[in-house]
């Protein structure tokens, strides 16, 4: 199974971003990719005003574009994420959709973990603008392979990836807009760790370069195999990477190094632990 991760330098102009995404999706499909992943907020990336102006409801123009191109190219398209406007809600959602080769929406995932942090003196408060999702989402590709859905900051929460793997995921996607410093120091380590510990393929599509509002993303989109080997890595520019995912290799690794099967669930009863108490 050949998969592709697109790397974009998205800005405030939706038409430009959409045109770039379409060109690269087509190029990846021409290169044989049957699964294509876009990065986080590929349709528009910038400050709160940019995101509000770009927000759309599910079923809007961008959803219809994703359905149309997936059907035309006969691919599974995971359209990164976009800012979703939900009727009756003040806050937006950071939402990813999976569209199958038949043009139908197979799954919708809303980012669970909000990026509320301080990095190198800059404060990010994603929760000021966006409402966190609450549902863990496992979808299925047209070839029957289970794919787990996540977005960017979710990568730092291994519990999510473990649950997806235990539910059957063999591929987990990570559309992202990782900051430049965290891409430099953490991105590859985290991607390879999630792949190794859950024996899954990780497909990670990152934004790259400068965006409105002084935002900077670090690129280095990657595809990682279940042994932690980086199969493909993007250069520091817009483009796409492809790799062939050997599912037989994945199942062989799970059989010979059965870490998922060797878990001791009874030892992980967090509810029995009083995490508020300091331990001596």
Active-site residue, from 41, 126, 152, 207 = 152
Query: Residue 30: which H helix or E strand, with range?
Result: helix 14-30
Question: Is 40 designated active site?
Answer: yes
Active-site residue, from 14, 41, 106, 111 = 111
Active-site residue, from 40, 84, 170, 207 = 40
Query: Residue 222: which H helix or E strand, with range?
Result: strand 222-224
Q: Please give the distance of CA 234 from its chain centroid, rounded to a whole number.
A: 16
Question: Is 152 designated active site?
Answer: yes
What is the reported pTM?
0.95
Instruction: Give 117-178 as a DSSP string.
Output: EEETTEEEEGGGTB-------EEE-TTS-EEEE--GGGGG-HHHHHHHHHTT-SEEEEEE--
Domain positions in the chain are 2-259
pLDDT tens-place string over residues 102-121: 999 999 999 999 999 999 99
Question: Is 34 designated active site?
Answer: no
Top CATH class, 2-259: alpha beta
pLDDT tens-place string over residues 140-172: 999 999 999 999 999 999 999 999 999 999 999
């Amino acid at each position: 199974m050949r998969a592709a991760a697109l790397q974009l330098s998205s800005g405030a102009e939706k038409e430009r971003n959409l045109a770039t995404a379409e060109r690269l999706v087509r190029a990846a499909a021409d290169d044989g990719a049957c699964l294509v992943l876009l990065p986080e907020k590929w349709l528009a990336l910038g400050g709160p005003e940019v995101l509000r102006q770009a927000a759309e409801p599910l079923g809007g123009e961008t959803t219809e574009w994703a359905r149309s191109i997936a059907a035309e190219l006969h691919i599974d398209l995971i359209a990164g994420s976009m800012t979703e406007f939900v009727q009756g809600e003040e806050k937006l959602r950071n939402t990813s959709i999976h569209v199958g080769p038949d043009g139908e929406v197979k799954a919708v995932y809303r980012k669970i973990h909000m990026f509320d942090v301080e990095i190198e003196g800059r404060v990010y408060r994603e929760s000021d603008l966006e409402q966190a999702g609450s549902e863990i989402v496992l979808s299925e590709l047209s070839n029957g392979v289970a794919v787990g859905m996540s977005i960017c900051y979710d990568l730092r929460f291994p519990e999510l990836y473990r649950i997806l793997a235990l539910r059957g995921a063999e591929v987990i996607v990570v559309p992202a807009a990782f900051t430049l410093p965290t891409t430099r120091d953490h991105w590859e380590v985290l991607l390879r760790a999630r792949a190794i510990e859950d024996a899954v393929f990780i497909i990670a599509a990152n934004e790259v370069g400068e965006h409105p509002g002084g935002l900077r993303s670090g690129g280095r989109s990657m595809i990682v195999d279940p042994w932690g080997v980086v199969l493909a890595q993007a250069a520091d520019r817009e483009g796409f990477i492809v790799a062939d995912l050997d599912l037989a290799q994945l199942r062989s690794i799970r059989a010979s190094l059965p870490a998922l099967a060797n878990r001791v669930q009874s030892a992980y009863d967090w509810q029995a632990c009083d995490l508020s108490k300091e331990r001596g």
